[in-house]
Structure 1
Amino acid sequence: MDLTLLYRGPLASCDYDCPYCPFAKRRDSTAQLRADRAALERFAGWAAAQTGDRLSVLFTPWGEGLVRSWYRRALTELSHLPHIRRVAIQTNLSCRTDWLDGADPGTLALWCTYHPGQTPYDRFLGKCRDLADRGVRFSVGVVGLPEHLDAARRLRAELPGHVYLWINAAEGHTYTDAEADTWTALDPLFPYSRHPHRSAGLPCRTGESVISVDGEGTVRRCHFVRAELGNLYDGSYRAALRPRACPLAVCDCHIGYVHLETLPLYDVFAGGVLERIPAAQHSARVTTIATRAENRDH
């Protein structure tokens, strides 16, 4: 079985205090951190044992995972297993990078977000260049707020040319066409993020070849649909895997709508769906596909 798992344990603490994030500067107690570590290690052990399957894993913690040793260790260990196709994590890149020396760069990848005002620009850029020097697969992104535009332009100019810079539409922010054009000049795929995608009744890979897993092992089709499919550790989820339509009116998060079968994003991001790296970066074809998608939805 080829299966993609989005894992989100109980970790909710972050070392940043971004005003657009509800988990900014939240601190988990010692007991909460121990619980998160135990849950993560249980999940990683399960993934390591599934040698009869082909797994792709994306860690999507509410907080910052890579400042915790157990996330770094899990990523490193899983990256060396032959049945793990990809293991990736969303991160603010505030952690050190020397731990990557022990990982397999052919399997591990990072989805990095730059948060202006939370870390010095030169420090973040330096870490990105270090990742590139190490041969690590990674993308870099910024939340598309007006006050972030200069930083995003500077990043695009100074990041290695092969690194994809993505722009997330800010939650609750409405973009004029002129504003959207400005962000699209930096990220040709921004039109996918600009508006929520109508998804009700449409086919989606979640619940069939993509699942969401929490710290208790509860399996759901995705992070945004609360209905349970079973439990990872007793195997009860497997009987529930099948093609199914989306029950929600819209899908407005990349880790959700990327799996909609009505969008061509599995082709756009071929080989890099989890780490958000398009197969053809900044090409005329990518721009055309994104524009057509926006026109179709609106």
Structure 2
Amino acid sequence: MDLTILYRGPLASCDYDCPYCPFAKRRDTPDQLRADRAALARFTTWVAEQTDDRLSVLFTPWGEGLTRSWYRRALTDLSHLPHIARVAIQTNLSCRTDWLKSADPAKLALWCTYHPGQTPYDRFLTKCGELGAAGIRFSVGVVGFPDHLDQARRLRADLPGHVYLWVNAAEGRTYSDPEAADWTSIDPLFPFSRHPHPSAGLPCRTGESVISVDGEGTVRRCHFVPAELGNLYDGSYRRALEPRACPLATCDCHIGYVHLETLPLYDVFAGGVLERIPVSPVAR
């Protein structure tokens, strides 16, 4: 079986203070961190044991995972397993990068978000250069707020041409056509993010070949549909895997709508769906 897993454990702490994020500068207690570490260890042990399946794993923590040693170790270890097609994580790239030398660059990838005002521009750009030097696949992106536009243009100019720079529409924001044109000049795929996608009753790969898993092992079709499909660790989820239509009116997050069968994004991101890397450089 080929299966993509989006894992989100209890970790909810972050070292950044982004005004648009409810988890900014949140601190997990020592007990919460121990619980997250134990949940991740249980999950990675399960993944390692599934040698009859071909698995891809994307870590989507509420907080910043790579500042925690257990996430760095999990990514490194999973990258060396023969039945893992890809292992990736969403990150603000505030961590050091030397640990990547121990990972398999053919398997590991990073989905990096630049947050202006939270880290010096040159520091972030230097870390991107370190990823490239280490042979790590990565994408870089920003949230499409007006005060981020100049920094996004600067980042696009300074990054190598083959590095995809994506732009996420800011939640709840309506973009005028001129505003959308500015962002599309940076990310030609921004029109996919600009508006929520009607999804009710439409076929989606989630719940069939893509699942969401939390720290308890509860399996859902995706992060945005609360209905449970079973549990990862007792295997009950397998009986529930089947083609199914989306029950929500719209889908407005990339990690959700990328799996809609009515959109062409599996072709656009072929081989790089988890890390948000297009199959070929997008024209600007």
**1:232 and 2:236 matched:** no
* Separation of aligned partners in 1, 2:141 and 2:149: 12
Tell me the SS of whatever aligns to 1:109.
strand
Is 2:235 aligned against 1:216? no
Aligned-partner SS, 1:211: strand
Which SS does the other structure have where 2:18 is aligned?
coil
Matched length: 284
Distance (Å, rounded) in 2 between the aligned partners of 1:280 and 1:176: 28
Q: Structure 2 unaligned segments of length 5 or more: list them.
A: none
**Could you say which residue in structure 2 is the equivalent of 1:293?**
none
CA offset at residue 282 of structure 1? Answer: 1.6
Deviation at 1:280, TM superposition (A): 2.0
The Cα offsets for residues 164-184 of structure 1, whole Å up to 9 and x where unpaired, read as 000000001110000000000
1:288 maps to: none
**Superposition deviation, residue 71 in structure 1:** 0.2
Q: How does 1:90-101 map to 2 (within 5 A)?
A: 90-101=90-101
SS across alignment from 2:63: coil
RMSD value, Cα: 0.6
Is the aligned partner of 1:117 residue 2:110? Answer: no
2:3 maps to 1:3? yes
- In the other structure, the counterpart of 1:249 is 249
C-alpha deviations, 1:35-74, integer Å up to 9, x for none? Answer: 0000001000100110000000000000000000000000
CA distance in 2, matches of 1:217, 1:281: 37
Opposite residue 257 of structure 1, the aligned amino acid is Y
| Residue matched to 1:45 | 45
Distance of 2:45 and 2:76 partners within structure 1: 13
Q: Displacement of 1:283 after TM fit?
A: 3.0
1:55 is paired with a residue whose SS is strand
- Aligned AA (1:139): S
| Unmatched runs of 5 consecutive residues or more in structure 1 | 285-298
**1:195 touches 1:252 (CA, 8 Å); kept in 2?**
yes
**TM-superposition CA deviations, 1:97-142 (whole Å, max 9, x none):** 0000000000000000000000000000000011011110000000
Which residue of structure 2 aligns with residue 25 of structure 1?
Answer: 25
Deviations 1:232-269 (A, max 9, x none): 00000000000000000000000000000000000000
The secondary structure found in structure 2 opposite 1:26 is coil
Alignment of 1:1-298 (within 5 A): 1-283=1-283
